[in-house]
Amino acid sequence: NIKGIIFDLDGVLVDTARYHFQAWRQLAESLGFSFTEEENERLKGVSRRASLEILLSMGKLTLSEDEKESAMASKNKNYVEMIGKMTPEGILPGALDLLKELKQSGIKTALGSASKNAPLILERTGLARYLDAVVDGNRTSRAKPDPEVFLLGAGDLKLEPGECLVFEDAAAGIEAAQNAGMKTAGIGRKNQLNRADILFPNLQGVTWSVLSKKLSDLPR
Under the binding rule (CB under 6 A), the answer on residue 47 touching ligand G16 is yes
* Cβ-contact 140, 134 below 8 angstroms: no
Tell me how far apart the alpha carbons of residues 27 and 22 are, in angstroms, rounded to a whole number: 9
Query: What separation in angstroms does the CA of 8 have from each of 13, 14, 57, 152, 184?
Result: 7, 9, 26, 13, 11
Nearest distance from residue 145's CB to ligand G16, in Å? 11
Q: What is the CA radius of gyration of the chain?
A: 17
Please tell me whether residue 109 adopts helix, strand or coil conformation: strand
Under the binding rule (CB under 6 A), the answer on residue 11 touching ligand G16 is yes
Nearest distance from residue 213's CB to Mg ion, in Å? 25
Q: Of 8 and 146, which CB lies nearer to ligand G16 in the complex structure?
A: 8
Under the binding rule (CB under 6 A), the answer on residue 56 touching ligand G16 is no
| Interface region with ligand G16, contact rule CB under 6 A, candidates 9-17, 58-66, 86-94, 196-204 | 9-17
Under the binding rule (CB under 6 A), the answer on residue 113 touching ligand G16 is yes
Tell me how far apart the alpha carbons of residues 165 and 154 are, in angstroms, rounded to a whole number: 10
Which of Mg ion, ligand G16, none is residue 113 near (CB under 5 to 8 Å by kind)?
ligand G16
* Cβ-contact 130, 100 below 8 angstroms: yes
* Cβ-contact 15, 92 below 8 angstroms: yes
Q: Is 77 marked as a binding-site residue?
A: no
Q: What is the dihedral of CA 32, 20, 51, 183, to 10 degrees?
A: -150
* Cβ-contact 182, 163 below 8 angstroms: no
Q: What is the dihedral of CA 125, 84, 19, 169, to 10 degrees?
A: -30
Beta partners for residue 158, in sequence order:
none
| Interface region with Mg ion, contact rule CB under 5 A, candidates 3-11, 95-103, 133-141, 205-213 | 3-11
In the residue annotation, 10 being an active-site residue is answered as yes
User: Could you tell me which of 205, 168, 201, 160 has the C-alpha nearest to residue 46?
Assistant: 168
Which of Mg ion, ligand G16, none is residue 48 near (CB under 5 to 8 Å by kind)?
ligand G16
Under the binding rule (CB under 6 A), the answer on residue 68 touching ligand G16 is no
Total binding residues for ligand G16 by CB under 6 A? 20
Nearest distance from residue 216's CB to Mg ion, in Å? 26
Numbered residues of the known binding site for substrate: 8-10, 24, 43-48, 51, 75, 113-117, 144
Positions marked active-site: 8, 10
Binding site for ligand G16 (CB under 6 A): 8-11, 20, 43-48, 51, 76, 113-117, 137, 170
Residue numbers at the binding site for Mg ion (CB under 5 A): 8, 10-11, 45, 169-170
